[in-house]
Amino acid sequence: MKEFLFVFRNDHPAAHKGSPEEMQAVTKQWMDWIGGIAAQNKLVDRGNRLAAEGSTLKPGNVITDGPFMEIKEAIGGYTLVRAESLAEATEMAKGCPIFQFGGSVEVRAINPL
Amino acid sequence: MEQSEELIPHLFRTEYRKLTAVLTKIFGLEHIEIAEDISSDTFLMASETWGIRGLPENPVAWLYTVAKNKAKDYLKRNTLFEQKIMPHIQNNTSEIQEFEIDLSEQNITDCQLQMMFAICHPSISSEAQISLSLRVLCGFGIDEIATAFLTNKEVINKRLFRAKEKLREEQVKIEFPNSSATEDRLEVVLRTLYLLFNEGYYSSGKDVTLRKDVCLEAMRLTHLLLENKSTNKPAVNALISLMSFHASRFEARVNLNGETILYQDQNENLWNADLILQGQYFLNHASVGNKLSKYHLEAGIAYWHTLKQDTAEKWESILQLYNKLLQLEYSPMAALNRTYALSKANGKNEAIIAAEKLNLSNNHLYHALLGNLYTGIDTDTARSHYQAALKLTKSKADKTVITRNISDLDAI
């Protein structure tokens, strides 16, 4: 088994619209999806959501507020899973609720140091 | 005479462990056998004396006095005392006559708690911790422990011997862990108590009374932790809550032949309402702080199972609790139960897809679950899963249930 990182990217403002009931329904979908991965004993670390607040440092001591240069591609969170192959990890990502909101999941193999 | 025959086994169960804990604290854990011998001798003497002279006025006080005297005699007689044990004894009195053995309620409780931490030492296996707990903390006989573990006396004796050797090697002391280590050590203690309870609750052993005793002992030891300020933590409250909810079904879950009655077939009137209330009480007390233990989640699940009626809220809550539990700690049982809750909350079709990803095809409960999920959807597939389950299980109770499920399928 190898470990893979799921990087969740979405359009921040779009993901946070909706009534409390709708938000609750989305939370349930995330919980059910993560729970399903955990039930296969393939969850390494549920990870976390990332707050909108942040800054980016560039050479020459250039600091910009927030990572939101291209707002549709902001990283919203991450999760660590284990799978036999990239293909299996990619298959696992298919159930992610993020696609309903135009987001994406980047699946990356971890290369242990 | 008959009176003492009834009383002694009872007192053995309640007092042996107290004497052993207090004496072991004095002699040091490396000499636990001496403490056990003195406690056993005390009971041997009780059964001889009481049989002839009748019961003393206060049998417990009699036992304590005799045990104290035996311990003092032992110390007087044995040179071991001066060479090895004396340095361990805290108060620096060289006069044995002045040496007091404190059998007050407070000291007994403290010694038992400290003994619990010593036994639940990370250096020995959970199995050994459970066996030692049953022997030293619960006063179970070797044959009873063997019955509970479905094995023979020899295996248990060896296991106890090795565990004691290991504790000696590790120089484990009977004391409270220092406050920085309490959290970690308490986690091991809770795990052992949880396993001890499960040993009684889920064992396939025939002796129903013995199994119930094991559960009650696990609960008693958990209560000891609650009574002490430094160990009365939210996770301990959650554990006793979980145990209380499970224990509430004691009378309803086993029939007269000692066979398991499934949850959905149980007579709710036999559920113990006091224990359910007790579970709720401790679950409320567990809901402080910011640490969510697996006992919190399992107690939550057990709470919902005390409401027999199927509601959308019930199964949605159970599903989410299992989702969290699995993130904390994977187990095949939790994965299967989570998938059942998924079928109740989100429907069978979704649950079938999830179930087939579980990779538990050599587990009979996996096939039993799929048999259930396919029932009403694909009868042939349901039947073949039930038949696979039947082949994989050794338990007679499970076989009966699965066979009934298959014949129900044929009736569709």
What domain range is A23 assigned to? 2-109
Contact residues for B284 (Cβ-Cβ < 8 A; gap 6+): none
Q: Is the pLDDT score of B202 beyond 90? A: no
Closest by CA position to B2, among listed B43, B45, B50, B41: B50
The whole-angstrom distance between B132's CA and the closest CA on chain A is 32
Q: Is the pLDDT score of B183 beyond 90? A: no
Q: What's the pLDDT score for residue B139?
A: 87
Contacts of A28 in chain B (CB under 8 A): 316, 320
Check CB contact under 8 Å for A40 and B357.
yes
State chain B's mean pLDDT as an integer. 90
**Coil, strand or helix: which one is A58?**
strand
Q: What's the pLDDT score for residue A70?
A: 58
For tokens 């879950």, name the residue. Answer: B253
Interface residues from chain B to A (CB-CB < 8 Å): 316, 319-320, 322-324, 326-327, 330, 334-335, 338-339, 342, 346, 354, 357-359
Rounded to an integer, what distance in angstroms lies between the CA atom of residue A87 and that of residue A83? Answer: 9
- What is the Rg, in whole angstroms, of the alpha carbon atoms belonging to chain B? 25
**Any CB–CB contact under 8 A between A25 and chain B?**
no
Contacts of A43 in chain B (CB under 8 A): 326-327, 330
Q: Considering only B1-10, B55-64, B100-109, B309-318, which range has the smallest mean pLDDT?
A: B1-10
For domain B328-412, give its CATH number from 3.40.1030.10, 1.25.40.10, 3.40.50.300, 1.10.150.20.
Answer: 1.25.40.10
Answer yes or no: pTM beyond 0.80: yes
Q: Is the pLDDT score of B66 beyond 70? A: yes
CATH, residue A90: 3.30.70.1060
Kind plus residue range of the DSSP H or E element containing A73: none
Rounded to an integer, what distance in angstroms lies between the CA atom of residue A32 and that of residue A80? Answer: 16
Rounded to an integer, what distance in angstroms lies between the CA atom of residue B385 and that of residue B388? Answer: 5
Note down pLDDT in tens along chain A; length 113 residues.
Answer: 999 999 999 876 555 667 888 888 999 999 999 999 999 999 999 999 998 888 888 899 888 877 665 566 788 899 999 999 999 999 999 999 999 888 999 999 999 88
Q: Is the pLDDT score of B104 beyond 60? A: yes
Rounded to an integer, what distance in angstroms lies between the CA atom of residue B365 and that of residue B101? Answer: 53
CA distances from B112 to A27, B31, B397 (A): 46, 16, 38
For tokens 């976390």, name the residue. Answer: A48
Contacts of B320 in chain A (CB under 8 A): 28, 31, 35
For tokens 């003092």, name the residue. Answer: B72
**Coil, strand or helix: which one is A6?**
strand
User: For residues B173 and B25, is the Cβ–Cβ distance under 8 A?
Assistant: no
Q: What's the pLDDT score for residue B224?
A: 93
What pairing do the DSSP bridges indicate for beta strands A74-83 and A43-49?
antiparallel
Neighbouring CB atoms inside 10 A of B196's CB total 27
Q: Complex ipTM, two decimals? A: 0.89
Q: Would you kindly state where each structural domain of chain B is located, as residue ranges?
A: 1-101, 328-412
**Looking at the 3D structure of chain A, how many domains does it have?**
1
Contacts of B339 in chain A (CB under 8 A): 39
Largest CA distance in chain A: 47
Contact residues for A45 (Cβ-Cβ < 8 A; gap 6+): A79, A80
Q: What's the pLDDT score for residue B82?
A: 64
Check CB contact under 8 Å for B330 and A36.
no
